């Protein structure tokens, strides 16, 4: 008689997907209005929220502008870069896991 193997104790618990912070970085050349516009159009901030985040980046060097799933964060980072480069600005966004 073949011996029936006991079910192995593989961890079958479902995990929430990791979330990623999109971070905007300061530079000396990108105009403030352009940053506010990016925050409103791509990160769905109100004008007041966008201005507050822009000033935080300007004064502190960086700030979180949103928290998303991996693919959405990656797309936003790329679109910020594309829109900025089209205008010749060095604006930079990066992403990091939200732990
Ligand atoms: N420091 C820029 C300036 O003085 C403004 C700026 C703000 C640039 C935020 C980038 O992510 C940024 N024109």
Domain for residue 40, yes or no? yes
User: 3-class DSSP state for residue 28?
Assistant: coil
The rounded Å distance from CA 29 to ligand 1 centre is: 7
Which residue from 30, 62, 66 has its CB within 8 A of the most atoms of ligand 1, so it is best to mutate?
A: 30
Which residue from 23, 25, 27 has its CB within 8 A of the most atoms of ligand 1, so it is best to mutate?
A: 27
Q: Which of the two residues, 12 and 68, has the higher pLDDT score?
A: 68
Residue numbers of the domain that contains 65? 19-97
Nearest residue (CA) to ligand 1, atom 7: 58
Q: Where are the beta strands (DSSP E) in the chain?
A: 19-25, 62-69, 92-97
pLDDT per position as a tens digit, 11-64: 677 888 899 999 999 999 999 999 999 999 999 999 999 999 999 999 999 999
Domain for residue 7, yes or no? no
Contact 56, 25 (CB under 8 A): no
User: How far is C-alpha 11 from the geometric centre of its chain's CA atoms?
Assistant: 30
User: 3-class DSSP state for residue 96?
Assistant: strand
Q: What is the pTM of this model?
A: 0.87
pLDDT per position as a tens digit, 77-93: 999 999 999 999 999 99
| Count of domains forming the chain | 1
- Determine if ligand 1 sits within 6 Å of the CB of residue 52: no
Domain for residue 6, yes or no? no
> In 10 A of CB 70, how many CB atoms?
13
Domain for residue 2, yes or no? no
- Give the neighbor-by-neighbor strand order of the sheet with 62-69: 62-69, 19-25, 92-97
Query: Would you say residue 10 has pLDDT above 80?
Result: no
* CATH number, domain containing residue 91: 3.30.1390.10
Domain for residue 56, yes or no? yes
Closest atom of ligand 1 relative to the 32 alpha carbon: 5
Domain for residue 39, yes or no? yes
* Band (1; pLDDT cuts 50, 70, 90): low
């Amino acid at each position: 008689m073949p011996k029936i193997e006991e079910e192995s104790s593989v961890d079958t618990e479902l995990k929430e997907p990791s979330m990623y912070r999109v971070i905007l970085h300061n530079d000396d050349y990108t105009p403030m209005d352009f940053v506010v516009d990016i925050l409103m159009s791509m990160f769905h901030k109100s004008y007041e929220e966008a201005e507050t985040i822009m000033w935080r980046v300007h004064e502190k060097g960086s700030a979180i502008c949103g928290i998303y799933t991996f693919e959405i964060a990656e797309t936003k980072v790329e679109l910020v870069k594309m829109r900025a480069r089209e205008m010749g600005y060095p604006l930079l966004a990066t992403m990091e896991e939200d732990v």
